[in-house]
Structure 1
Amino acid sequence: MLSAAAVALRAGARRTVRRLPGKTRAIPVAASLRRQRPFSTSASRKTDLTTRGMIVQTLSSVGSKREVQQYLSLFTSVSSQRFAVIKVGGAILTDYLDELCSSLAFLYTVGLYPVIVHGAGPQLNSLLEQAGVEPQFEEGIRVTDAKTLRVARDLFLKENLNLVNKLEEKGVHAQPLTTGMFRAEYLNKEKWGLVGKVTGVNKQAIETAISNGYLPILTSMAETDDGQILNVNADVAAAELARALEPLKVVYLSEKGGLFDAAGQKISAINLDEEFDHLMSQEWVRYGTRLKIKEIKELLDTLPRATSVAIIHPGDLQKELFTDSGAGTLIRRGSKLLSATSLSEFKDLDALKTVLIRDREGPDAKETVDKYLEFLKENDFKAYYDGQMNALAIVLPAKDGRQATLATLTITKSGWLTNIADNIFTALKKEHPSLVWTVKEDDENLGWFFDKADGSITRDGDVMFWYGIENGDEIMRLMKDFTLNGRAMLGDSNLESRLHRAAKTGSKPFAQQARGYSTLARRPAVSAPVFGLNTGRGYVTQTNPNPPIGKKNASKSGPARVALIGARGYTGQELVRLLDSHPNMDLRHVSSRELAGKKLEGYNKSEVIYESLSPDDVRDMEKRGDIDCWVMALPNGVCKPFVEAVYEGRKGSNHKSVIVDLSADYRFDNSWTYGLPELVQRNNIADATQIANPGCYATAAQLGIAPLVEHLGGMPHIFGVSGYSGAGTKPSPKNDVENLTNNLIPYSLTGHIHEREVSSQLGTQVAFVPHVAVWFRGIHHTISIPLKQSMTSRDIRQIYQDRYAGEKLVKVVGEAPLVKNISGKHGVEIGGFEVDKTGKRVVVCATIDNLLKGAATQCLQNMNLALGYAEYEGIPIM
């Protein structure tokens, strides 16, 4: 019933994945989105300097280039001026100008042209106070006399020009449209003075600016027919622009970033047709919140149903527009839903059959639907649908120990465009305290379902979701039933297969079924529970509402089971400490030949004793499915027998664990995934079962050079110094404190393995000279980078800030970072950015804790991604 394409379709909202009907419209940046770690070679315009960072930032937030392309397809499906109207308040121009301009620069880079209208209220109050004029308001509207208007007009022109100039600095062509844009008449001259009521909008000027490649920047000033300038509230101006242009999105930028409920929680979405009356009856909906919701409803009632309003923080504009989860409060009309508890309540049964048959394949589709309707005649259910039957959901209620089940969900393209899917789920959650449904594990749109669920479990390629089930015993029973029914009936508890069989044989489809969780749907996008054999690993992911694309599973015992091979070293000790505070991972085995029989210190969840595991032990454990993730924390050249043992164990089992190797043994093996999330697509790591953890020197060096790869004019030279913990625990001159005191020891002057690693990953040759010093932990890199064209220090710093915007473990600073400031922290600091007199050489400095982000923290990032948890789960953010 609901295809993968349909699940991806949505307009003007983001609580589910969006896709527009028809082919994706070509966009110049699309080619770059298809690369794994793209570095543009184009420098044709200044915005190219920041394009890479902004695109990767968005990809990192979305988690899938497919989603980004779908959003771009949606927003470019209408004429340019109908993409979005963005209202910018005066406080935003004062406090968040950089964030605003960076977000607008991203939209401009990918070919999107929002229409901007701004105010300047706080600045005007300040100027009037300085001039000795006390602002006066009547019913919330500023009383505007001639002096106030003169100050306001000069201020608006100044703020408009400042915004335009800031955008131009980022390579965005912007056109100030400060006069003749709004036609108005006096709102009430006696009461408010020179305040206007907008009667018309100059659309032609806006269209001309956009067609010439400029973002239109408007002030909220209007003119009468005889040329008198009038002051207009910026919210009112934005609303009138929206009515004239009918955009997909109307965006109000807010310092608060959205609307908040009685508990102080941000409201994610409001479906007005369903929720407006209820909201207006709530005691906490008052004052500004009440007025804002009322005004937005009045606006949306005059616009196409596909239009939505977003109230967001300026720094979250990209996240709001290009992610499923969004960032602020989304308000849309939605659709009122009807309901039925018997077939007789449907006005047209033939229309219902048509809805159930649409999108189905196979010659027995009609017979299958007929059998399904017979089942509904004899069983309790509740259906939810809109008047046009663009959406239909059928829930089988809780009965005989079975949880309520979403049995049917079918949405047309029009239904997605009018946001009925979210309306239906809102209704489901109101009437069904708990609910169960399933989706195929490889479905590309799992994110929406995770957003709706409290927990999930995967078995044999199918994911069962639930919400509202808090009792642990009930969850375990549900999981057990999910597994056993599949084994007992070889998947035959799937409603779809039983209905097909019943249609062919004339048998009753539920004769042998005591309970089931099923969805009548042709495609796996919303096919509800298909029980199968438990052949894969899985983990309960209740703590992660938006897990990365990859393995979002649940193991029988809950948390992921981890084995650490080589736990004696410094890195192993740090990883143990991180796992001790991780809510979804349990350390089950630690292996160290020297410490076998001793208690593991620093791990408090349970008592763990060191073992001396052999490759044969590892093989047998893998074959039994005892471990979900193996971490190889062994010296270079040692872990191969253990990795091969895991491979051997897989041959005799359907179990397939994740391997993360901390050594250099597999960093150059193309069959392994290189695990540097800030530079490698996170999707690749999430889908991997064997991950090579980058080296500590190599991580800092790559992050320190990557943003400038496209601008290189020669070979970067890296002078690196590490504390002696990087030399390991085995005694040597490089970790002998007495030998290091008042000393600095260079080693591997050429050909160090990290030199090869960095060169291989960045795709350009680098020179690297490592040293060891007397401090214990932390690495400092001083990197000399030749440039192919002259650049300023400010330009280069901006490139790094844009490239790593949104990366929680990369901090771009001004001065050269210090080792003492990074010790014990989980990220990387990059700074310096000093350019020589020619402008063609820059020196960049980077620091990293070699035991954390250089090893254990990065390992945990990779484990989280591959096991289906939030990337930073268990990691204190720097």
Structure 2
Amino acid sequence: MLSAAAVALRAGARRTVRRLPNRARLLPVTATLRHQRALSSTPARSTDLTTRGMIVQTLSSVGSKREVQQYLSLFTSVSSQRFAVIKVGGAILTDYLDELCSSLAFLYTVGLSPVIVHGAGPQLNNLLEEAGIEPQFEEGIRVTDAKTLRVARDLFLKENLNLVNKLEEKGVHAQPLTTGMFRADYLDKDKWGYVGKVTGVNKQSIETAINNGYLPILTSMAETDDGQILNVNADVAAAELARALEPLKVVYLSEKGGLFDAAGQKISAINLDEEYDHLMSQEWVRYGTRLKIKEIKELLDTLPRTTSVAIIHPGDLQKELFTDSGAGTLIRRGNKLLFATGLSDFKDLDALKSVLIRDREGPDAQATVDKYIEFLGENPFKAYYDGPMNALAVVLPPSNGRQATLATLTITKSGWLTNVADNIFTTLKKEHPQLVWTVKEDDENLTWFFDKADGSVTRNGDVMFWYGIENGDEVVKLMKDFAEHGRAMLGDSNLESRLHRAATNAHRAAKPVAQQARGYSTLARRPVLQTPLFSQSKGRGYVTQTNPNPPYGKKNASKSQPARVALIGARGYTGQELIRLLDAHPNMDLRHVSSRELAGQKLEGYNKRDVTYENLSPEDVRDMEKRGDIDCWVMALPNGVCKPFVEAVYEGRKASNHRSVIVDLSADYRFDNSWVYGLPELVPRANLAEATQIANPGCYATAAQLGISPLVEHLGGMPHIFGVSGYSGAGTKPSPKNDVGFLTNNIVPYSLTGHIHEREVSAQLGANVAFVPHVAVWFRGIHHTISIPLNKTMTSRDIRQIYQDRYAGEKLVKVVGEAPLVKNISGKHGVEIGGFEVDKTGKRVVVCATIDNLLKGAATQCLQNMNLALGYAEYEGIPVM
């Protein structure tokens, strides 16, 4: 019933929408493409399936297989001319022609037919200047006299032919449509001369060109009824084309690649119905940005809500069209949300019932919905929906010590197109600081809900999600209740079983049936992975789970006081980063900081209390452990130095029942099986939750393992890792590896064989790797280029999908299409993995990974391990990616 290829219909809703399940039980998200056509609707143009597969594989370098296939399904679900109108400015034809033609060739090869209209403004200015004609503008519109018109006409014909020829060179059949495409009247002959106001579009010529297998290439020239040629602004021509064709997409190609806010950040998406008035009131929205937003709103107000506008760079056309994240600025009308807190607030109760039943199947559907309506009439709730009710969410308020519960979420195809789903969830987070909901584990993909949730846990085929629950005790109680009662513990404890039983009995009373009635859920079914409680599945572990049974000596059940932390060796860069993280952590208190060089000085950067550097001896550590002064020891010492301090903790334990946690940042215990290796994304989190001694992985080793691990079962030989680190990785002790003068215009290889991280990665993955480290002149951040032999032929698309599935929901691992850059990971708390380029044999892939060596490579990972071992939520105090 639900078409998974058609749900995240990105023409209007692509920023966080993900593929949804094949079936969402009661009140699911529903969207079905009933009129999916072949890639080409005419015999004049057929797309070879092998060629199409190659193109899809190439597109998979910027998006997942799921993304590419679902957008192809969407774009081929409408008539050819209604796919997209693309406006190409003159500067694009001059500076980015090859990128433009390559992008259009991809679309053409997979059977998509955008309608192209171009201008040539910059070229016209240059030609007029060369001819001694000074351009004249009135109110921003070019004054076009007879001489200017003649130059413009010749120029437009030349640029059009050049574009057509370039496309033909790439195997694209393109047809120049340079006359008779736009009918026009004079805009104001006395004021602007030969400038036109479009009054009609020749759709038939466009349709004929597409039906004959050609891409239509239009110029922004128009004609009056008596044949006079007029100049028309290319943006205006594109808008009029869009009004005539009503396409899914209107694309404005831009050198800048989008619109930018006051801070210079690219705006990813604008929902006009919700944001227009606010945007136009902002001081930074002025001049060209203000005019562009205003013009786009005026255009979209005249088009179906399924149409969206994208402002993008020509080199990003595939990424914009075929990925959820997009590349430029997406602008859509959206829908304003309405609210109801009682059944009387709905104008039409029958319409509400129709919404609730539209995705139900089986003989008990109507009875189930009737009982649900009856329940809503007797209990408090708040509903969120748009005017046409393409989307509906129902939240039950907190009660009996339980958090608010998302009881219903149903979205139609049109609802996804207008992005109501994300608007609703944004509103839910504003109005409900804490929220809990469940989904089924037998669906396809968790990504959408993992994006929304802070944590999850699985039981008997159901997955419970939550956000906003920061108190560890509350999470523990929630998880225990779910483990004991399942979905029934949410909202009214007997709601699900009571409604299903009542509906089933009512139906049987009317007409007995031999077939057992389907199970009932008041919750929208979203896709999830099969991940048991406290286990590490092949796909991934649980997202955020607080240890329900902390070992003796860790934080007590009440957690009335923050965990007491001592940092041994705080002088280095990692120690400073950890101090900064602990300062922002709500449940950790840094009590002691030990550094021989800084003893007696005040600790800077920590604001919870005054702390002075100490020079703690192993004897001091032993006595503090004996007294139970510390809950967690962090050893931030060089390799080979921390053993006396660790043994002092052991000694202190012998004379006390206290059991603190030790996290060692050095390599001293990474090969000791009595210590838990602290890489939460690859090691069962249950092990870390029970650990009292954790070996924090190395920075190089973390990125390398995350970059290789998903392919271990597919290895056809030894992976080779080329790693380059910033000089902060060499520590604060002066050496050639952190000498900026020596590193400038240089790259320094070292430990060419047998580096400790080479042995660490090999030991943890259970497969030998070769690793060659280098140091460069930047301060922080590591880049790995990893060449991985494969034991079978694979595609880039397949491999990227493996990584996406493996790290779905991992908040500190981001899988990207392109090779990640060091400058983008510096200061970030996670790892980016991308590239996925396969050689021509299909049996070797190159994967790239980046990591900030001081954060996820050290301090951030240390805090993940501390959180898990001390009984807190894993990402507490960590800004996630």
* TM-score normalized by the length of structure 1: 0.61
What is the CA-CA distance between 1:117 and the residue it aligns to? 0.6
In 2, Cα distance between equivalents of 1:204 and 1:232: 20
Which runs of structure 2 are paired with 1:202-281 in the superposition (5 Å)?
A: 202-281=202-281
**Count of matched residue positions in the alignment of Structure 1 and Structure 2:** 652
Question: Are the equivalent residues in 1 in contact too, given 2:7–2:413 (CA < 8 A)?
Answer: no
Q: CA deviation at 1:143?
A: 0.7
* Structure 1 unmatched ranges of 5 or more: 29-39, 508-518, 539-547, 559-575, 632-645, 651-658, 664-673, 701-721, 731-755, 765-803, 811-825, 834-840, 864-868
Cα distance in structure 2, aligned partners of 1:206 and 1:132: 37
Residue in structure 1 matched with residue 319 of structure 2 by the alignment: 319
Q: Which amino acid aligns with 1:607?
A: D
Equivalent residue letter for 1:524: R
How far residue 729 of structure 1 moved from its aligned partner, in angstroms, is: 6.3
Please name the residue that 2:543 is paired with.
553
Q: What residue number does 1:75 align with?
A: 75
Residue 718 of structure 2 corresponds to: 695
- Structure 2 residue identity aligned to 1:61: V
- Post-superposition Cα deviations, 1:308-357, rounded to whole Å, max 9, x if no partner, equal 21122222211111111222222223334332111122233343233223
Shift of the alpha carbon at 1:523?
A: 5.3
Deviations 1:212-253 (A, max 9, x none): 322211111112223222110001100111122121111111
Matches within 5 A, 1:76-91: 76-91=76-91
The aligned residue for residue 808 of structure 1 is 820
Amino acid at match of 2:305: R
Within 1, Cα distance between the matches of 2:147 and 2:213? 37
How many angstroms does 1:153 deviate by?
1.9
Partner of 2:33: 21
Q: Tell me what 2:62 maps to.
A: 61
Return the alpha-carbon distance in structure 2 between the equivalents of residues 236 and 71 of structure 1.
28
Distance 1:106 1:343 in 2: 51
Alignment of 1:46-445 (within 5 A): 52=54, 55-62=56-63, 64-361=64-361, 365-366=365-366, 368-397=368-397, 403-428=403-428, 431-432=431-432, 435-440=435-440, 443-445=443-445
Q: Look up the match of 1:779.
A: none
What is the one-letter code of the residue matched to 2:754? G
| CA distance, structure 1, for counterparts of residue 416 and residue 60 of structure 2 | 23
Contact 2:715–2:791 at 8 Å: present in 1 too? no
Shift of 1:83: 0.6
* 8 Å Cα contact 1:119/1:233 also seen in 2: yes
Q: How many Å separate the matches in 1 of 2:141 and 2:11?
A: 34
* 1:196 to partner: Cα distance: 0.7
Q: Over residues 27-59 of structure 1, what are the superposed CA-to-partner deviations in whole Å (9 max), with x where a residue is unaligned?
A: 49xxxxxxxxxxx997x9xxx9xx84x644532
Query: Matched residues in 1 for 2:376 and 2:817: separation?
Result: 52
Matched, 1:502 2:498: yes
User: What does residue 747 of structure 1 align with?
Assistant: none
Equivalent residue of 2:456, what SS? strand
Corresponding residue for 1:607?
Answer: 664
Measured in 2, the distance between the counterparts of 1:598 and 1:171 equals: 71
- Classify 1:504/1:199 alpha carbon distance in 2 versus 1 (closer, same or farther; 3 Å): closer
User: In 2, distance between residues paired with 1:629 and 1:292?
Assistant: 44
Taking a change above 3 Å as real, the CA distance of residues 306 and 357 of structure 1, as seen in their structure-2 partners, is: same
**Where does residue 793 of structure 1 map in the other structure?**
none
Is the Cα contact below 8 Å between 1:86 and 1:252 reproduced in 2?
Answer: yes
In structure 1, the partner of 2:454 is: 455
What amino acid is the match of 1:304?
Answer: P
Cα pair distance change 1:476/1:148, threshold 3 Å: farther
TM-score by length of 2: 0.60
Secondary structure, counterpart of 1:217 in structure 2:
strand
* Residue 254 of structure 1: how far off its partner (Å): 1.9
735, 754, 758: which is aligned to 1:728? 754
Q: Is the 8 A contact 1:490 1:532 kept in 2?
A: no
By how many angstroms is 1:182 displaced?
Answer: 1.4
* Percent sequence identity over aligned pairs: 62
Which is worse superposed, 405-414 or 15-24? 15-24
Q: Distance in 1 between matches of 2:644 and 2:792?
A: 40
CA contact (8 A) 1:597 1:610 kept: no
**Quick check: 2:3–2:32 contact (8 Å CA) kept in 1?**
no
**Quick one: which of 468, 472, 477 aligns to 1:476?**
472
User: Kindly tell me: are residues 360 and 288 of structure 1, through their superposed partners in 2, closer, same or farther at Cα, counting changes over 3 Å?
Assistant: same
- Gap change, CA 1:726 and 1:185, over 3 Å in 2: same
Find the counterpart in structure 1 of residue 558 from structure 2: none
Conservation of the 8 A alpha-carbon contact between 1:597 and 1:609: no
One-letter amino acid of the structure 2 residue matched with residue 808 of structure 1: P
Distance 1:763 1:276 in 2: 46
Distance in 1, Cα, partners of 2:381 & 2:833: 52
Letter in 2 for 1:112: L
Shift of 1:188: 0.8
Give 3-state SS (helix, strand or coil) of 1:474's partner: coil
**Matches for 1:724-763 after TM superposition, within 5 Å:** 725-728=751-754, 758=789, 760=791
1:74 aligned counterpart, secondary structure: helix
The 1:187–1:131 alpha-carbon spacing in structure 2 relative to 1, beyond 3 Å, is same
Cα distance between partner residues in 2 of 1:184 and 1:171 = 34
Shift of the 763–283 alpha-carbon distance from structure 1 to 2, 3 Å rule, reads closer
**Which segment drifts farther, 76-85 or 211-220?**
211-220
Matched with 1:446 is 446
Answer yes or no: is the 8 Å Cα contact 1:253–1:314 preserved in 2. Answer: yes
Residue 589 and residue 533 in structure 1: after superposition, are their counterparts in 2 closer, same or farther (change >3 A)?
farther
In 1, distance between residues paired with 2:670 and 2:237? 71
Aligned mates of 1:829, 1:72 — CA distance in 2: 22
Q: Which moved more, 1:376-385 or 1:99-108?
A: 376-385
Q: Is the 8 A contact 1:485 1:493 kept in 2?
A: yes
Distance 1:763 1:429, change over 3 A: closer
State how far apart, in whole Å, the 2-side matches of 1:128 and 1:550 are: 63
Q: Secondary structure of the residue that 1:60 maps to in structure 2?
A: coil
Counterparts of 2:6 and 2:719, CA distance in 1: 44
Q: Which residue is 2:731 aligned to?
A: none
Partner of 1:536: 535
Q: What are structure 2's unaligned runs of at least 5 residues?
A: 20-30, 41-47, 504-519, 549-573, 583-631, 647-661, 689-696, 724-747, 757-786, 796-815, 823-831, 862-873
C-alpha distance in structure 2 between counterparts of 1:333 and 1:759, whole Å: 47
Which shows bigger deviation, 371-380 or 98-107? 371-380
Partner residue in 2 for 1:782: none
Give the alignment of 1:561-600 within 5 angstroms.
597=643
